[in-house]
Amino acid sequence: MTPPAALDRRPLVLELGCGGTKRLDDAVGVDLLDLPGVDVVGDALEVLRSLPDGSVQAIHSEHFLEHVPDAEAVVREAARVLEPGGTFHAVVPHFSNPHFYSDPTHRTFFGLYTFSYWVRSVPWRRLTPQYDDAAPFTLVEAHYAFKSSRPFYVRHALKKVLGSWVNTSRWTKEFYEEHLTWLMPAYEIAYVLRRD
């Protein structure tokens, strides 16, 4: 694949799976579909593979990683193309989100510990095995989001209060995922990873 000229920008910021609504104006939007806001039409993994090592300042994705056939491969390529200190922001549905199961294009489940299986450094106490060499990332943050759609205003308010408590510390996040997930499902989880 010959990289499109948009990928020559410096500093280069990518938004993977941007769809028709790119969230970051200065980012190069990458998507399989040729929609408004998409700067590079193509498979995100192939686009990442076409870039040189350390050529990207930041990567963003929102409700994208759960759709790709090999999320770990995307994470590994992101680590390769990011400059040292570069960041990867990923927002995905949490595995407890009841809507997650309704979409037949969702392929990977995400929870608090998912990146623990793939990256070098995480803040969690629970140990997880790594089945391959760890990607050179440090998980800086994982933040739960709790939502309810209209007209469920009371439910939405209760979830906001619970979310405020859950996101106060590492301990409350681990306690929530182990003991409370199915009582009050999270809508999504946002991760911030820093390239070592």
Q: What is the CATH number of the domain that holds 135?
A: 3.40.50.150
* 135 closest CA partner among 107, 115, 112: 115
| pTM for the predicted model, two decimal places | 0.94
State the DSSP string of 106-159.
------TTGGGGTEEE---SS----SSPPEEEEEEEEEEE----TT-HHHHHHH
**Cα–Cα distance, 33 to 62 (Å, whole number):** 16
Identify the pLDDT of residue 152.
85
Domain annotation covers residue 17: yes
pLDDT digits (tens, 9 = 90+) for 4-54: 889 999 999 999 999 999 999 999 999 999 999 899 999 999 999 999 999
Domain annotation covers residue 179: no
Domain annotation covers residue 51: yes
Identify the pLDDT of residue 3.
66
| Structural domain total, the chain | 1
Domain extent for 105: 5-146+189-195
Domain annotation covers residue 175: no
pLDDT digits (tens, 9 = 90+) for 123-144: 998 889 889 999 999 999 999 9
Cβ atoms of residues 89 and 75 within 8 Å: no
Identify the pLDDT of residue 99.
87
Domain annotation covers residue 16: yes
Q: Which residues pair with 28 in a beta bridge?
A: 14
Domain annotation covers residue 178: no
pLDDT digits (tens, 9 = 90+) for 87-113: 999 999 999 998 898 999 999 999 999
Identify the pLDDT of residue 156.
86
Domain annotation covers residue 156: no
pLDDT of 185 above 90: yes
The residue among 162 and 77 whose pLDDT is bigger is 77
Identify the pLDDT of residue 174.
96
Domain annotation covers residue 88: yes
Give me the long-range contacts of 108-114 (CB less than 8 A, separation at least 24): 108/65, 108/66, 108/68, 108/71, 109/66, 110/65, 110/66, 110/189, 111/177, 111/189, 112/142, 112/173, 112/174, 112/177, 112/189, 113/177
